[in-house]
Amino acid sequence: MRSDNAKSGIQQAPARSLFRALGYTEEELARPLIGVVSSYNEIVPGHMNLDKIVEAVKQGVAMAGGTPIVFPAIAVCDGIAMGHIGMKYSLVTRDLIADSTECMALAHQFDGLVMVPNCDKNVPGLLMAAARLNIPAVFVSGGPMLAGRVKGEKKSLSSMFEAVGAYAAGTMTEEDVEDFADKVCPTCGSCSGMYTANSMNCLTEVLGMGLRGNGTIPAVYSERIRLAKHAGMAVMEMVEKNICPKDIMTEAAFRNALTMDMALGCSTNSMLHLPAIAHEAGVELNVDIANEISAKTPNLCHLAPAGPTYMEDLNEAGGVYAVMNEISKLGLLNLDCMTVTGKTVGENIKGCVNKNPQVIRTVENPYSATGGIAVLRGNLAPDSCVVKRSAVVPEMLQHEGPARVFDSEEDAIAAIKGGKIVAGDVVVIRYEGPKGGPGMREMLNPTSAIAGMGLGASVALITDGRFSGASRGASIGHVCPEAAAGGPIGLVQEGDIISIDINANTINMKVSDQELAKRREGWIPKKKEVSGYLKRYAEQVTSADKGAVLKGN
């Protein structure tokens, strides 16, 4: 056992004395030591129940003959951090989570790990750590929140942000907004639509790193506790068989994940996280293959914000495995990939039927013949940008209009809420990328303000920052190169005509090469004065199309 390095032999007698100080018996130390990485805290609604999940994991590990030992991982609530300096500290935690987990796991020589994440950067951060460490690991998330109900209709956090926009437009009262605030987030769990947290928890199932139901069983269901116990048991089987993350997270597994990303209509943030996780697993995942995969993968799900269904509905319809089984009819999945069940993808999804074709459409009746995400290129984004095509209304799939240029999210929000943005405009927000932000803030506030003010079917938004999975509309993010790195988005001027064709995967500003060359003469990208971790992050981070991984990793 790997843990023998820390507990066995005369040389490690001092370490045994410390284990005994912790209360461990000889019998416990004779078993495999399993690290349980707990993301529990009291600031993230998706994490407030993780203490119960962790206790269930510990029981599962112990029942299967292991000794569970808990240590922590940090997590930021994107919703609470949204719209102010706090959002600069969201994406950057992904690497802190991976690094700190690596430190704890190797310093204490655990034989296996059970990762207990739930929200946003916590999931990809721990997946990165699992790939980097390559010791047996199983994931069990805290589960999604139930949808709220306002005046008899299901609602979620995206509805809340759009209500603020509606208030600014004068179509909703302050009392209405507070009614939404009371009701849209009714339980613990990751917010109830196909936002980033739920996207990544679903894709963890697809990758083979989580058990069936990891992405969809609601946080408040007792079934989630049973799942956690089974995750604890599963890691012990993996330790016994020496099945490690790199045996599971292969190139074929990542292609499966991208395929299901398209079918499920996941958050555009998956296009930031999947390449970063793949990089840690030794797989180079070029974002360009997204369009190749999208071209042959139908979009089968329209969960909020793309449509009126929620994670609880997907769970009742059969969950991620049912969608995988539906997509497998087209021969688009590699069914031979190994998973944490000790079985292949094909064995796992066999017999997992679609119980509700209104929630999971059949391959014969998709929402669209192509996938939920598109990668665009052009003179505005030579290295690519990303849009959640499944959440764009048909009339905005092609759009041309004048640029309204802002060098920060705050300035853009002020203009939108001040009524200065009109139908046809293309809002450009720059200097919000990984390096320029720094931290690549999510732009849920401006997209929600646009939607709330009734402009969602007539205004596009382009940024070198990124979007929440709760954003909808022609919200185009991850523009690369970013403005701070000298990207053409930094050369856009007020009134430039921008042409977007999502079906053709193009995005261009109608400015000649000669004019762009002239603008570039003597131009120096803006640089924000930052300190502490953000300064170090800005100096080390790569571009969004590379997954915003840190140099040297």
82 DSSP 8-state letter: T
Let me know the angle formed at the C-alpha of 274 by 269 and 278, rounded to the nearest 5 degrees.
160
Per-residue DSSP letters for 458-496?
T-EEEESSB--TT--SSEEEEEES-GGGT-GGGG--TT-
Residue 360 in tokens: 């999971």
Of residues 254, 365, 241, 240, the one with CA closest to residue 300: 365
Both tokens assigned to 325: 């089984």
Which of the following is catalytic: 192, 468, 471, 475? 468
CB 130 within 8 A of CB 113: yes
Euclidean distance between CA atoms 17 and 14, whole angstroms:
5
Pick the closest to residue 312 from 227, 203, 190 (CA basis): 190
Contact of 364 with 493, CB cutoff 8 Å: no
**Closest C-alpha among 410, 428, 431 to residue 528:** 431
Rounded-to-integer distance, Cα 428 and Cα 418, Å: 16
CA pair distance 103, 100, nearest whole angstrom: 5
Task: Establish whether 468 is a catalytic residue.
Answer: yes
What is the Cα–Cα distance from 490 to 492, expressed in whole angstroms? 6
Q: Whole-angstrom Cα distance, residue 169 to residue 159?
A: 15
Q: Specify the amino acid at residue 494.
A: E
Backbone angles phi, psi at 512, to 5 degrees: -70, 155
Distances (CA, A) of 270 to 29, 259, 261, 357, 497: 39, 12, 8, 25, 30
Annotated active-site positions, please?
468
